[in-house]
């Protein structure tokens, strides 16, 4: 870890269980490090604050399109425009029509977070036991996208979290916003490393590849083990 000064992490299924608070062991490990901690998540700022608690960190919410420093002061906000929303909602309608199950209406399937729209077929607020078994390897969502592709010049959709499709502007992904923070802070890319569970093709961490060094993880437990290994 002597080679790194700035540690970037996805949140759900990387430093926390999906939509769950930071576990005490991870909070202790990260809190004791002298490194900068940066959380880069598709979630909105309020949810990141709720899950991460008092951990001192930079926050890149909505795939980094809403950035905050360690004092929780806003650095930038890059919202979607109305014509982006129209394209996204049209594509979601097509995905819903192609589902092989009932849409999770009662658990808020569509969330417009401002800079990102997130669609979960089982519902963004579905209970953990439902979300954890729906699509653990992302194959179900990737297959659905292969049948119902998004055709757009300005927006893209990525696999996010445990059940979600994340819609963002094509030039405002995690990789671009990681680079934005590094430039804003005057950091060196060689001092940075990123941990994420979605570094596979189509995953919402994929865009970070080539920006800084990346580490693929399976879940928060794998992240904990790989961090400990790097520390030793």
Q: Which of 4, 69, 79 is nearest to 38 (CA)?
A: 69
Would the CATH topology of 6-78+172-231 be identical to that of 82-169? Answer: no
pLDDT at 51 over 90: yes
pLDDT band of 82, cuts 50, 70, 90: very high
* Angle value at C-alpha 174, between 15 and 35, nearest 5 degrees: 50
Q: Domain spanning 6-78+172-231 has what CATH number?
A: 3.40.50.1000
pLDDT computed for residue 75 by the predictor: 98
pLDDT at 84 over 70: yes
Strand partners, 36: 6
Q: What is the pLDDT of residues 122-164, one digit of tens each?
A: 999 999 899 999 999 999 999 999 999 999 999 999 999 899 9
pLDDT computed for residue 232 by the predictor: 82
Cβ count within 10 A of residue 105: 8
pLDDT band of 188, cuts 50, 70, 90: very high
The mean per-residue pLDDT over the stretch 56-73 comes to 98
Tell me the CA distances in angstroms from 191 to 68, 127, 214, one per residue in order.
Answer: 20, 38, 12
Q: Which of 137, 149, 219, 209 is nearest to 179 (CA)?
A: 209
pLDDT band of 17, cuts 50, 70, 90: very high
Q: What is the pLDDT of residues 206-230, one digit of tens each?
A: 999 999 999 999 999 999 999 999 8
What residue segments make up the domains of the chain, in order of their start? 6-78+172-231, 82-169
pLDDT computed for residue 1 by the predictor: 61
- Could you tell me how far CA 34 lies from the centroid of its own chain? 24
Could you give the 3-state DSSP secondary structure of residue 214? strand
pLDDT more than 70, % of the chain: 99
For the domain made up of 82-169, give the CATH fold: 3.30.1240
Q: Mean pLDDT, the chain, as a whole number?
A: 96
CA-to-CA distance for 21 and 179, rounded, in angstroms? Answer: 27
**At 194, phi and psi to the nearest 5?**
-125, 130
DSSP characters over 154-207:
SEEEEEETTTEEEEEETTSSHHHHHHHHHHHHT--GGGEEEEES--STTBTTGG
pLDDT at 108 over 80: yes
pLDDT computed for residue 2 by the predictor: 62
CA-to-CA distance for 91 and 166, rounded, in angstroms? Answer: 12
Sign of the alpha-carbon torsion through 121, 122, 123, 129: negative
Give 8-24 as a 3 state SS string.
EECCECCCECCCCCCCH
What would the two tokens of residue 38 be?
């940066």
What would the two tokens of residue 56 be?
């001192």
């Amino acid at each position: 870890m002597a080679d790194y000064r700035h540690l970037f992490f996805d949140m759900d299924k990387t430093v926390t269980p999906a939509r769950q608070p930071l576990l005490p062991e991870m909070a202790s490990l990260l809190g004791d490090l002298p490194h900068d901690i940066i959380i880069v998540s598709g979630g909105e700022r309020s949810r990141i604050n709720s899950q991460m608690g008092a951990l001192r960190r930079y926050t890149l919410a909505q795939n980094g399109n809403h950035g905050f420093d360690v004092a929780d002061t806003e650095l930038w906000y890059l919202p979607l425009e109305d014509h982006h929303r129209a394209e996204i909602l049209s594509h979601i309608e097509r995905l819903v029509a192609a589902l092989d199950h009932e849409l999770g209406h009662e658990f808020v399937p569509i969330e417009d977070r401002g800079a990102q729209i997130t669609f979960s077929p089982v519902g963004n607020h579905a209970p953990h036991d439902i979300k954890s078994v729906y699509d653990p390897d992302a194959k179900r969502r990737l297959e659905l996208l292969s049948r119902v592709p998004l055709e757009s010049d300005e927006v893209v959709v990525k696999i996010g979290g445990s059940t979600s499709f994340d819609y963002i502007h094509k030039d405002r992904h995690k990789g671009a916003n990681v680079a934005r923070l590094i430039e804003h802070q005057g950091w060196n890319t060689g001092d940075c490393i990123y941990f994420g569970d979605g570094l596979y093709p189509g995953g919402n961490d994929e865009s970070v590849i080539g920006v800084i060094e990346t580490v693929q993880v399976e879940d928060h437990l794998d992240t904990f083990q790989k961090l400990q290994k790097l520390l030793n």
